[in-house]
């Protein structure tokens, strides 16, 4: 059993930023990285919208920079997965890989979220080569070209609108004859001339050798198939926040995102803070995750000093 002041769970931009701030505040943070050290950015190629990298940077390289910066100030970074927690009494208890027991006065949850995918082999094969789950991250690469997007929620609508400003045509694939998105978003989509909606339609296959070249769309009502040439294929069918292990103690919403006190990283449990995509279903950017990681560390430090724990 180990005892620390500040335990950080997760190693995306939120977790590493929390670590940098916590370490510089003298909290000697311990971080457990989770299985995918570096988080979702490890699956991306060029990141061009993170301030401070004027020429862009590869996602994995950027996360290596984050890691080095966290280590430079003394963060103890270890590989392991939080598999059980007990936040019913203090100090808080977290088990790593079902065996290592850690007691911590403050815990920062930064386990992120994962994009949901359709499950097509072609989608997996061309991931990062035209297939993406983030229009704001990757839309720029397809400016002046045709793209497709799957989904009909607020995210899909928002991303279709974003893409419509960059791309010549956005082919939006909707599986039912109506959208789940809020009325206002649906209206916006319908009023944009270069968004073409395919109702009652599913993605039959993403086509292409080394990069996306086209998408085969099947209308399930009419049983017809069309092949549409596109350079980018965006999947916007929702995300799954990695909150399952905390749910017994931490309040989550109906989509399993951790609920925080508005404008703060505070959860319903004193001394437990949440940051990054685990608690953000709207912005989901590396820079917003990093910002919320900073807030979590500042709150953790305030909490520890107010309670005489540092």
Active site residues: 134, 137-138
The window from 42-50, 88-96, 103-111, 154-162 that contacts ligand NDP (CB under 6 A) reads 154-162
Pairing of strands 113-115, 239-241: antiparallel
Q: How far is the CB of 158 from ligand NDP (least distance, A)?
A: 5
281 binds ligand NDP (CB under 6 A): yes
Residues 219-258 that bind ligand NDP (CB under 6 A): 237-239, 255
Q: How far is the CB of 173 from ligand NDP (least distance, A)?
A: 7
Nearest CB to ligand NDP, comparing residues 207 and 310: 207
Query: By C-alpha distance, which of 265, 280, 243 is closest to 22?
Result: 265
188 binds ligand NDP (CB under 6 A): no
218 binds ligand NDP (CB under 6 A): no
Q: How far is the CB of 104 from ligand NDP (least distance, A)?
A: 30
Per-residue burial over 25-63, b if 16 or more Cβ lie within 10 Å, else e, is: bebebbbbbbebbbbbbbbbebbeebeeeeeebebbebb
- For residues 290 and 283, the answer to whether their CB atoms sit within 8 Å is no
DSSP H helices in 25-133: 59-72, 121-125
Tokens matching residue 275:
């940051």
Nearest CB to ligand NDP, comparing residues 119 and 209: 119
Q: How far is the CB of 111 from ligand NDP (least distance, A)?
A: 18
The window from 66-74, 92-100, 147-155, 286-294 that contacts ligand NDP (CB under 6 A) reads 147-155
Kindly tell me which residue out of 81, 118, 197, 310 binds ligand NDP, with binding defined by CB under 6 A: 118
- For residues 70 and 16, the answer to whether their CB atoms sit within 8 Å is yes
Tokens matching residue 158:
């928002």
CB atoms within 10 A of CB 247: 12
Q: What is the phi/psi pair of residue 200, to 5°?
A: 50, 40
Q: How far is the CB of 239 from ligand NDP (least distance, A)?
A: 6
Site residues (vs ligand NDP, CB under 6 A): 118, 150-156, 158, 175-176, 180, 237-239, 255, 281-282
């Amino acid at each position: 059993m180990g005892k620390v002041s500040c335990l950080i769970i997760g190693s995306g931009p939120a977790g590493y930023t929390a670590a940098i701030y916590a370490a510089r505040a003298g909290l000697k943070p311990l971080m457990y990285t989770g299985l995918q050290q570096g988080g979702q950015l490890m699956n991306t190629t060029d990141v061009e919208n993170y301030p401070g990298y004027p020429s862009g940077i590869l996602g994995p390289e950027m996360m290596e920079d984050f890691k080095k910066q966290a280590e430079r100030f003394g963060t103890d970074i270890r590989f392991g997965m939080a598999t059980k927690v007990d936040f019913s009494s203090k100090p808080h208890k977290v088990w790593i890989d079902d065996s290592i027991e850690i007691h911590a006065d403050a815990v920062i949850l930064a386990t992120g979220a994962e994009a949901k995918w359709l499950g097509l082999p072609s989608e997996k094969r061309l991931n990062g080569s035209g297939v993406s789950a983030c229009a704001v991250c990757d839309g720029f690469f397809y400016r002046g070209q045709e793209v497709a997007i799957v989904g009909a929620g607020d995210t899909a609508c928002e991303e279709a609108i974003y893409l419509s400003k960059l791309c010549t045509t956005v082919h939006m694939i909707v599986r039912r004859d109506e959208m789940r998105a809020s009325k206002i978003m649906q209206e916006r989509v319908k009023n944009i001339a270069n968004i073409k909606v395919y109702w009652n339609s599913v993605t039959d296959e993403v086509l292409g050798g080394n990069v996306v070249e086209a998408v085969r769309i099947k209308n399930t009502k009419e049983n017809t198939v069309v092949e549409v040439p596109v350079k980018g294929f965006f999947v916007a069918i929702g995300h799954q926040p990695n909150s399952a292990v905390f749910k017994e103690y931490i309040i989550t919403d109906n989509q399993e995102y951790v609920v925080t006190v508005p404008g703060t990283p505070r959860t319903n449990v004193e001394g437990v803070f949440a940051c990054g995509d685990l608690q953000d279903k709207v912005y989901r950017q590396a820079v917003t995750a990093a910002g919320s990681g900073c807030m979590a560390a500042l709150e953790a430090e305030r909490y520890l000093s107010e309670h005489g724990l540092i």
